[in-house]
């Protein structure tokens, strides 16, 4: 009755042709609840990638691999087949050396041969240290070894004052080594003796 060339008593699908079975599952399409030609569990009419397994989507972008123009697992804009650093973002290259950070054995932004994690002077060359104080020139406030001037008590002026006082005292001393004070005392004694003598002399007259 369905004109499929199969006698009605032997018809698998009385409402349709037994000869049409796109997914070759033994059930004529007209009576098949799931016509799935690529056997991916998705009906042909709902297939995202007809003829291929819709469940295979490595980069999880919603497009099955065989129908995906860009299979990009890490979503760095570079296809997996061209990735410089698989499983890492090729666009992240802090030191611009052409090797993505995820696969870079030496991340050295300032190019001084010391990795960023161990840099003493980030942005400067750790190998240049003119005064060898352990601080690279680029981060050294005194790269040429000039040290700060520390103010200390001026002992020179005190010593000079003492010396001048000593020299003045020496100038007041005579050739016999007596000081001015010594001469003054002697003079006073002579004056007193002379006064006493004059008084005695007047009494005798």
pLDDT at 21: 85
With b meaning 16 or more CB within 10 Å and e meaning fewer, what string describes 34-55? ebbbbebebeeeebebbeebbe
Nearest to 52 by CA among 70, 41, 27: 41
Domain borders along the chain are 72-113
Q: What percentage of the chain carries pLDDT values higher than 90?
A: 27
Give Dmax over CA atoms of the chain in angstroms: 196
pLDDT tens, residue by residue, 91-106: 999 999 999 999 999 9
Rounded Cα distance, 102 and 105, in Å: 9
pLDDT tens, residue by residue, 144-198: 876 555 555 555 555 666 666 556 555 555 555 556 666 677 778 888 888 877 8
Stated pTM of the model: 0.40
Q: Which helix (H) or strand (E) holds 163?
A: helix 155-172
pLDDT at 199: 78
* Residue partners of 2: CB distance under 8 A and separation at least 6: 8, 11, 13, 14, 15, 16, 17
Residue 46 pLDDT > 60 = yes
Between CA 162 and CA 170, with CA 168 as vertex, the angle to 5 degrees is 105
- The arithmetic mean of pLDDT across residues 129-137, rounded, is 93
């Amino acid at each position: 009755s369905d004109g499929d060339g199969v006698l009605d008593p032997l018809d698998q699908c009385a409402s349709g042709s037994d000869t049409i079975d796109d997914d070759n599952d033994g059930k004529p399409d007209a009576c098949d609840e799931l016509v799935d030609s690529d056997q991916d569990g998705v009906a042909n009419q709902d297939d995202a990638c007809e003829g291929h397994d819709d469940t295979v989507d490595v980069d999880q972008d919603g497009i099955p691999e065989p129908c995906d123009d860009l299979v990009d697992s890490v979503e760095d804009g570079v296809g997996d087949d061209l990735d410089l650093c698989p499983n890492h973002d090729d666009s992240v290259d802090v030191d611009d050396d052409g090797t993505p950070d995820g696969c870079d054995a030496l991340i050295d932004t300032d190019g001084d041969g010391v990795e960023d994690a161990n840099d003493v002077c980030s942005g400067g060359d750790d190998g240049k240290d003119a005064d060898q104080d352990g601080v690279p020139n680029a981060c050294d406030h005194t790269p040429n070894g000039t040290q700060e001037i520390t103010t200390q008590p001026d002992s020179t002026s005190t010593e000079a004052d003492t010396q001048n006082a000593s020299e003045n005292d020496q100038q007041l001393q005579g050739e016999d080594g007596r000081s001015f004070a010594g001469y003054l005392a002697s003079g006073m004694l002579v004056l007193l003796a002379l006064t006493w003598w004059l008084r005695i002399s007047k009494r005798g007259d």
